[in-house]
Every structure is written in C-alpha cells, then in structure tokens.
Structure 1
C-alpha cells in the first residue's frame, strides 16, 4: 500500500490560495529564531507585522509569502496558549503559512467533505477554522485551514462537499484570526484522533518526531 506522502507526489496543480496568483509570484519567508530582521520589528503587533510582510512582498515582486513548516519561532511566546507551567514550550510550527491580505479566497486543496469547523477564539489561536476530510488511494486524511474570516463559517455544514480548487473560505483579519497579520495556516493531518474543529499547529521539541510524521510537509501537496 502506498504511503500518503507517495500519493501526494503523484498529484499536480494544487493551490489553497487565490488560483489566479501563479507560483512565480510567491516568495519564501523565514520566521525562525535565527531571522535577525524580526528583532527589529514588533512582530507581535499585527499591523507592524503586516507592514513587514508587505515590504518583503514588494522587494521580491511577489503577492504571497509562504513557509514555516518545522520552523522554530519566537512568535508564540506572547500567549499562554503555547506556554504554561504544566507542559513543554510549544514553538515549532508544523503547518505552512501563506501570508496575503484579508479577504483573499481560500481554496479546498482536494475533493473532500467538511469534517469540522469552529471559531477557535483567543489570542494566538486559529480564529475561524475549517477541517476537510479526504480519501486518496484508500487513505483517509484531513486538511486544516486556519485564520479565516467569520463569514467563512457562518453558513457551512458538516458533510458539505467541496471540490478541489473550489472556494472554501476567505482570510480573516487580526480582529478575528487570533491577533495575527492576515494569513492562511494550512496543515495536513493523518490521524486527527478525537479532535473535531481544532488540531495543534505548533508543537514542542519533545513531541516533534510524532507531529512531523502525523502532519507531513504541506509542500508535498502544494509543490511551490
């Protein structure tokens, strides 16, 4: 039986953000602890961070900044959601972020059905979130779309079918998306366990091996 990762390699032309934007207008962004540029900007302020993103896009003649899988970040030490006295610090990002303005269309990566959705409220959280369930070569898996607009989940229903490339949602702004500059958090999940409308998008070093196996690199699908 093929692995899920091998099944992804056979697929082509998958986008999860505005299909009119070619990959030639994507540019990588690094938000790791080694990026010294971040020390010069208050990235915890979504307006300042949005200006940082816009400057990066202009310098690279791009419309979308992407990256972040298996990236150690300082971005999460702003909230107790990722750091508390009872658990290890969670600061390793296990999805892909695609940074672009609020209101941008978000697309279903593949044919699937709505498995769960919710407004995951609170600073640092996903805000409005949708999870789709997919089957490929008899393998079941899930894709998570976080930091959406509120209207994205107002009329959606469990079991609704979305086709590959169909508009699923739009991006939210910092007032609803957990306090971040607008972006999509896109994540692949093999075993969702008892989660329904949420799943960790950041993990600790202690649990990294498990999460990297359970949440493959989204770029296996997107091929940016």
Structure 2
C-alpha cells in the first residue's frame, strides 16, 4: 500500500525550485571543512542563499553528514558514530510558523536539550488512507511546547508550532527537522534522527522520504 501524502503544507509559503536551494551537508562537500560551529554553519548557509538568490534551504534525507562530529551526543566513539540523517531539514528564520501536514493527534512532546539534539520537539500521529504514521518536528521554539495536552487534535493546515532560535533548538541555525516514522515503538517526544551507517537500512524503511510526502521531490 502506498504511503499517504500530506494534505496541507507545512508552511504558509511554497517550497519551490525558485525560492529554495538543496543544501549539501554530506561528507563529500569539501566546503564544510571550514564549518566548525553553529555560527560558521549559519554563515555558510546565508552566503549560499545570497549567492543563489534563494530564501530557503532544504535537504538532508538519507544524507551521510560530517557536521555531527563536533557533538559528543552523536559520537561517543568511532564505532558508535551516527551520521546518516533520517529527516528533511528546511532552513528558515526563527519563529517561522509550522502547520499540521494532515489531521493529527498530539502523540508526545519534549525538550531534548543535549548539544546538537532536537531542542523542543513535537510528535504528531496521523491516520490517512487506513494507515497510522507519525511526523516528528524538531528544533522548535520552547513556546511551541507550552500548554500542550497529549491527545489534543490539530486539523490539517492548523498552526501548531514555530521554529526555534539557536539557544532553544539544540544549538543549530534555525531550521525544521521533519521526519516521517511508521513505527515509533516506545519512544515519546524523541526518536533517532541520525543513525549509524550499519543501521540505516532498517531506519530508512521505517522513516520514508519526506520529500515525496510533502510533494517537493522535484527540487
């Protein structure tokens, strides 16, 4: 059975090839050799957007990244290094509003405050075309997780969160980590968004491509 598609956009603007660039944070991008902090990553993204005349940057699904090497949260040892990214990142200004991509029930939320982690995080549960699935929204503002109640509902297209600034989003330039999850298991308010290369086959099956779900695969 085909995986469901979003019934509403995540933002109040379209993500198109005209206004967005695909951001390469892979190990093959030698330009990242000079990126050693959130500030230098922000400068790198800002410079690219200016050069290309774009407003937003997207990318990252199934990408093998080097930017996690500065965080012990991802790299306790060489054997446990996590560098395969399971979500889609959409880089936009802090406080950018986020909308439910389909009718949803609030599954869980948390403040994952390790350096390099999600920061404020919301997980929604959806049922479309007879299938249950989840969407994880990471790097949100702390305000986004205030006054929430497990089980509360959101309609497709309803505003429910906003992007967080670096001080509250895990230490990153503002962006949304958007991830599809078929089976959450026992996780609440959290789920691996970056995994070891040896684990990628399982996790990529459990976390389908968000580009297809959101209808932006052509970018």
TM-score of the superposed pair, with normalisation by structure 2: 0.93
Partner of 1:164: 156
Partner of 2:118: 126
- In the alignment, the residues of structure 2 paired with residue 106 and residue 137 of structure 1 have an alpha-carbon distance, to the nearest angstrom, of 23
Partner of 1:179: 171
1:86 CA drift (Å): 9.4
Partner of 2:25: 31
Residues 1:41 and 2:40 aligned together: no
Partner of 2:60: 68
SS of corresponding position for 1:72: coil
Over residues 164-195 of structure 1, what are the superposed CA-to-partner deviations in whole Å (9 max), with x where a residue is unaligned?
Answer: 22212111111111111111000000000000
- In the alignment, the residues of structure 2 paired with residue 55 and residue 41 of structure 1 have an alpha-carbon distance, to the nearest angstrom, of 13
1:77 CA drift (Å): 1.4
- Residue 115 of structure 1: which of 96, 99, 107 is its match? 107
Q: How many residues align?
A: 215
- Residue 58 of structure 1: which of 50, 65, 76 is its match? 50
Question: Moved runs in structure 1, 4+ residues, more than 3 A?
Answer: none
1:205 CA drift (Å): 1.0
- In the alignment, the residues of structure 1 paired with residue 90 and residue 78 of structure 2 have an alpha-carbon distance, to the nearest angstrom, of 31
- The answer to whether the 8 A contact 1:162-1:168 is kept is yes
SS of corresponding position for 1:82: coil
Considering only aligned residues, what root-mean-square deviation do their CA atoms show, in Å?
1.6
- In the alignment, the residues of structure 1 paired with residue 203 and residue 14 of structure 2 have an alpha-carbon distance, to the nearest angstrom, of 30
- In the alignment, the residues of structure 2 paired with residue 160 and residue 187 of structure 1 have an alpha-carbon distance, to the nearest angstrom, of 20
- The answer to whether the 8 A contact 1:88-1:206 is kept is no
Extract unaligned runs of 5+ from structure 1: none
- The answer to whether the 8 A contact 1:147-1:182 is kept is yes
- Residue 207 of structure 1: which of 161, 184, 199 is its match? 199
TM-score of the superposed pair, with normalisation by structure 1: 0.91
SS of corresponding position for 1:59: helix
Over residues 25-84 of structure 1, what are the superposed CA-to-partner deviations in whole Å (9 max), with x where a residue is unaligned?
Answer: 121110001011111333xx2222222212211222221100000101111111221122
- In the alignment, the residues of structure 1 paired with residue 59 and residue 150 of structure 2 have an alpha-carbon distance, to the nearest angstrom, of 29
- In the alignment, the residues of structure 1 paired with residue 68 and residue 57 of structure 2 have an alpha-carbon distance, to the nearest angstrom, of 19
1:161 CA drift (Å): 1.1
Residues 1:139 and 2:131 aligned together: yes
Partner of 1:3: 2
- The answer to whether the 8 A contact 1:110-1:164 is kept is yes
